[in-house]
Amino acid sequence: MRVTVYGTKPYDRRFLDAANRDAGHEVIYFEERLSEHTAILQGDAPAACLFVNDQCDERALEALARQGCRLIALRCAGFNNVDLRAADRLGLKVVRVPAYSPYAVAEHALALILCLNRKIHRAHNRVREGNFALHGLLGFDLHGKTVGIIGTGKIGLLLARTLAAMGCRVLGHDPFPSSEFEQIGAYVDLHEIWKSADVISLHCPLTPDSYHLINSGSIAHMKHGVMIVNTSRGGLIDTEAVIHALKCRQIGHLALDVYEQEADLFFENLSDTIIQDDQFQRLLTFPNVLITGHQAYFTDQALKNIAETTIANLTAFEQGAPLPNEVTADRIK
């Protein structure tokens, strides 16, 4: 089957080509991201392969459908960038890669927590400059601290297990509790997490329900100096509220791998340009903020799994087989 891949990076091509060796799909690569303006690139290919920052809104979907596209194959787990209701109305199926390496993301979240707490990034820079002073590098023992995990699915559970093994008390919040999580932690309501957690790590999808879950109201109920970690989706956090809370030290540490306006920034080398996003630039000025550019998933194992599942999704669709990785509009009702 012919498939157009939008937003292609060299590593996408390498792993997709390897996974497609036996399947034999005709893969056409574009560096452009999908939007209503670039959907013209689709041509007569029946499938479009997208990543997290492709803008798969109603207009882009209509443009794809007009050209005969019938399948959106997401090469990621999150599907908040696809208008599922519009896809449904237009008869387009949407498939994703539900789990490619929850370990990669959970390990990155842990790395952010440890690095930010012990200021490893700042210490590294100091030592390189011959500055061995410790002032400003004071951290805290994670052992004995309370960690709130919001979303105890695959990634949240793995992180919870690791933190529990390190001696943390783990609290979870999820509309669908799991018995595996209950073996290591306790489910509580959100208010209890805000009130008790020293570290809050976000692992739920971005939906209308979870949009700006971290806002001025929820932050006001948190422990003074709380650490917030977001490796899930940028829209879970109201950036303006977080900046205000960092300024008055209500938030003591912030680690982000995702950012609400990341589509204008992440995955590109912008080191020669003037970044226009003032909120993002403000975040970078805080010594207690650590940001990575949506790289939590970026391990060789994860890229291999993403490519293999994407190719399997395409093959299943082409053969009219069941689509176990389909996402439908009722997921967001």
Residues annotated as part of the active site: 233, 262, 294
Cα R_g (the chain), whole angstroms = 21
Closest distance of CB 133 from ligand NAI, Å: 34
Which residues, 233 to 292, sit near ligand NAI by CB under 6 A?
233, 257-258
Decide: helix, strand or coil at residue 253.
strand
- Alpha-carbon span 84 to 89, nearest angstrom: 9
CA-closest candidate to residue 83, choices 297, 273, 327: 327
In the list 241, 265, 296, 307, the residue contacting ligand NAI (rule: CB under 6 A) is 296
Mapping DSSP onto H, E and C, the string for 120-174 reads: HHHHHHHHHCCCCCCCCCCCCCCCCCEEEEECCCHHHHHHHHHHHHCCCEEEEEC
In the list 17, 209, 264, 268, the residue contacting ligand NAI (rule: CB under 6 A) is 209
In the list 8, 42, 146, 231, the residue contacting ligand NAI (rule: CB under 6 A) is 231
Closest distance of CB 207 from ligand NAI, Å: 6
Which residues, 47 to 106, sit near ligand NAI by CB under 6 A?
77-78, 99, 102, 105
Residue with Cβ nearer ligand NAI (42 or 232)? 232
3-state helix, strand, coil in the chain (%, to 5): 40, 15, 45
Closest distance of CB 61 from ligand NAI, Å: 20
Q: Which stretch binds ligand NAI (CB under 6 A): 19-27, 42-50, 55-63, 293-301?
A: 293-301
Which residues, 166 to 185, sit near ligand NAI by CB under 6 A?
173-176
Of all residues in the shown chain, the one whose CB is closest to ligand NAI is 153
Site of tokens 């400003």 = 136
81 with 53: CB under 8 angstroms? yes
